[in-house]
Amino acid sequence: MGDSERVPTIEAAGLTKRYGEVVAVDEVGLQVASGDIYALVGLNGAGKTTLIRMLLGMIAPTRGTVRVLGAEVSAGDRSAWARTGYLIDTPAAYSELTVRENLHLIARLRRLPGPAARVGEVIHRLALTPYADRRARTLSMGNAQRLALAKALIHRPDLLILDEPVNGLDPAGVVEIRNLLSGLAREHGTTVLLSSHLLGEVTRLATRIAVIHNGRLLTEIDPHRLHGQTRRLEVATRDDARAARVLAERGLSPAPAPAPGDGLVLAEEHAVEHPDRIATALVEAGCPPTRLVVREEDLEQYFLRLVGQADA
Ligand code: ATP
């Protein structure tokens, strides 16, 4: 199915939330297609949680609109609730009840058919079997997070909205949740929107990434194309000022390398793809390269550069 044929599961336009002087979310527009794993990444305080709360109808936007699963969301409106699972803030469970009892309670609240089987299924899915009969208050942080995810998943929702779902999990737990979420998207067509401050982690999982900073959606990234956006060509010559002029005359935008004395950096895709042409141009201008390297920026650097540009 082509992208254009897919009905967006979440559609937000001009979404804004102000708290007095603070603009927590600023004119955010986004579309999440059915079956997407859509990640919001941003530093602490970027506005991710506030945005998610508005998507869920937990708080009213100052301005803007949200549609979820075809229906307009307004604060207090629970119409999409039956088809949505969510995890937001500290996972709350009844601390004196066991894992199984907590899940039974949710299954009954949601009036699920065959509640015992559903509870068993979700306990197994979240690898909670060894802890099924432990009281919730005795769970480690990672297992408490698993229980919260089990509660979000028990009714097999079409849409999952998860605020920092891998918080508190150890590396093995992170991989487990990543596999669980990609399996749900792949096998059941579940749409997932999640937030994270770990760009590297979401790149392995997400089909699309939105970078949020100071309440604004800075850019959307296709993780599969990230590779092309994060490569740079570094060029050093005996006379970098002259080399910069030669390259600029050819329509390129050479910038000084971050470390002084390291030469020039070109970000243009055709420069990165064809360092031979750059070398030829420099040789013909009498300014041959002494070094020519394609470097891959790591994801954290890429993210910080984007955020840095936005701050500047
Ligand atoms: P974190 O990763 O730390 O959870 P976040 O990206 O989820 O951060 P938000 O919690 O949405 O960010 O906060 C965005 C901004 O809005 C912050 O400056 C925060 O202090 C402010 N903010 C959030 N909720 C409120 C509130 N109820 N009253 C006043 N300011 C708020």
Q: Which structural domains are found in the chain, ordered by start?
A: 3-225 (3.40.50.300), 231-296 (3.30.70)
- The answer on pLDDT for 17 being more than 90 is yes
- 163 and 195 in contact (C-beta within 8 Å)? yes
Q: pTM for the complete prediction?
A: 0.80
Distance (Å) from CA 90 to ligand 1 centroid: 15
> Using CA atoms, how far apart are residues 205 and 133, in angstroms rounded to an integer?
31
> Using CA atoms, how far apart are residues 233 and 272, in angstroms rounded to an integer?
5
The helix or strand, by DSSP H or E, that contains position 32, with its residue range, turns out to be strand 22-33
Distance (Å) from CA 101 to ligand 1 centroid: 33
Chain-centre distance of CA 232, in angstroms? 24
- 80 and 68 in contact (C-beta within 8 Å)? yes
- 25 and 15 in contact (C-beta within 8 Å)? yes
Distance (Å) from CA 23 to ligand 1 centroid: 9
- 225 and 195 in contact (C-beta within 8 Å)? no
The atom number, within ligand 1, closest to the CA of 47 reads 11
Establish whether residue 22 lines the binding site of ligand 1, counting it when its CB lies within 6 angstroms of any ligand atom. yes
> Using CA atoms, how far apart are residues 217 and 235, in angstroms rounded to an integer?
33
- The answer on pLDDT for 265 being more than 50 is yes
- pLDDT tens string 170-200: 888 888 889 989 988 998 899 999 999 888 7
- The answer on pLDDT for 26 being more than 70 is yes
Q: Please compute the mean of the pLDDT values over residues 303-310 and round it to a whole number.
A: 79
pLDDT of residue 218: 92
Question: What would the 3-class secondary structure string for 242-273 be?
Answer: HHHHHHHHCCCCCEECCCCCCCEEECCHHHHH
Atom 19 of ligand 1 has which residue's CA nearest to it? Answer: 45
Atom 14 of ligand 1 has which residue's CA nearest to it? Answer: 47
> Using CA atoms, how far apart are residues 65 and 263, in angstroms rounded to an integer?
48
Q: Please compute the mean of the pLDDT values over residues 142-149 and round it to a whole number.
A: 89
Sorting pLDDT into bands at 50, 70 and 90, what band is 91? low
pLDDT of residue 75: 66
Beta-carbon contacts of 305 under 8 Å, excluding residues fewer than 6 positions away, are: 297
Establish whether residue 196 lines the binding site of ligand 1, counting it when its CB lies within 6 angstroms of any ligand atom. no
* Tokens 């967006």 sit on residue: 8
